[in-house]
Amino acid sequence: MSCPVYSRYATEEMLSIFSDEAKIERWLKVEATLAKVQAELGMIPKEAAEEIAKKANLKYVKIERIKEIEKEIDHDLLAVVNALAEVCEKDFGRFVHKGATSYDIEDTAWALAFKDALNLIKKRLQDLLAILLRRARENIDLVCIGRTHGQHALPTTYGMKFALWSYDIFRILQRLEFFLELDVLGKMSGAVGTMAAFDEKGIELQSKVMELLGIKPALISNQVVQRDAFADIIYLIALTSSCLDKIAKEIRNLQRTEISEIMEPFHSKQAGSSTMPHKRNPHRSERICSLARYQRALIQVALENISLEHERDLTNSANERIMLSHSFMLLDFMLKEMIEIISGLEINYINVKKNLELLNGIYMAERVMLRLVEKGLARNVAYNLVKDLAIKSYRENLSFEEELANNEIIKNYLTKQEIKDLLNPYTYIGQAKKIVENVISEIEKNLKI
């Protein structure tokens, strides 16, 4: 049975980073880079480094041979080292992995994978942000009812919704840049971090290896790069997933039959239900929400991995083999899904207007109350007066406008025309348009879109 992460959710781009072949290629690349620097520092013969570099790829080091060796020795990294060593000519294989420990190679290779994966996620986020900004601009004047606690609150705009989501994604991009700088770390420090096997050249060797690989060296490590850096990355993935969850949940709720203001894209041959032909389910948004739950759960595992014993133990290793690749693959899928959802999102303008007018202006009670206060009525009196009329209008299905106009107290403060104007939702969106314009302008300026 195949793993659904790989068979159902993994994109080709992310799969190319986290496939078994890609992992081994990275390990071999780190081994070759180590040998190159050791030759430069006079620690191994130059010819040995050249031979190792030539053979450190899957053309020479066969996956089948690695598996054979691993079956015998029960150590995956050492199986790669031995497979590389045995294809090197002139006995140069003895210089492979000289002085290094397994996690000098593995953690440095993880850093290479993180860098590639985070940059792919960055590209997806930028694509999503561009689409959200476009939708914000397109819908900057589309007034709709805002909801708090699931109830009609005050008018807002769809421009505000898309701009709010844009700002979420923008802040995630800022965090991603920070984590790329802070947590993508390699090491070449030996079994307990002292660099003893590299003599006095350890610090220089580590620096040069990481420079050639294009990543930062950990300033200090023991046998592993410290797992708070890994936890940061898992947190970023979970946080991003939760922001996508937030957007997806709003889409799902607004697609409810009773609301039906927006709908996920739905192609002509798509089926919503196996038995109900009329169904048009927001299944893609639901899938994003489902995967976000899994992503958040991984934070606990990542935090547990920080407190390893002494200079290290293996309690992080098994779960990282699953968690690190899966979390990136799932996030990449979620982002790709959300890009397609937002791109093809359908807005039902008729229902947007219908829902805005559903309560006959009752949700404009705040505006009426504030105007009464401006005209001289005490705030608590104005609040309770308007509240009672709003509740009565709702319960008895009466015209809120008429109830206000016929009230003996309100007559002393507001004319019928004033009341009519106050209940116009299209003129009570405050600075919504300016806010959206500012969001678009600031994001585009900062990201130079």
Catalytic residues: 149, 273
Q: Which element (helix H / strand E) includes 186?
A: strand 185-186
Q: What residue spans of 74-101 are helical by DSSP H?
A: 76-87
Contact 229, 185 (CB under 8 A): yes
**Per-residue CA distances from 328 to 23, 287, 433 (Å):** 14, 16, 36
Residue given tokens 């308007």 in the structure block: 386
d(CA 129, CA 444): 10
State the Cα angle at 309 between 306 and 312, rounded to 5°.
80
Q: How many CB atoms lie within 10 A of CB 169?
A: 24
Contact call for residues 108 and 30 (beta carbons, < 8 A): yes
Q: Are 413 and 377 in contact (CB under 8 A)?
A: yes
Token representation of residue 183: 């947590």
* Listed residue (98, 102, 100, 94) closest to 75, CA to CA: 102
Strand pairing class (216-217; 262-263): unpaired
CA-to-CA distance for 43 and 98, rounded, in angstroms?
9
CB atoms within 10 A of CB 289: 20
Those residues with Cβ within 8 angstroms of residue 383's Cβ, 6 or more apart along the chain or in another chain: 369
Of 256, 248, 243, 238, nearest to 285 (Cα)?
248
**Alpha helices in 184-227, H assignment, sequence order:** 202-213
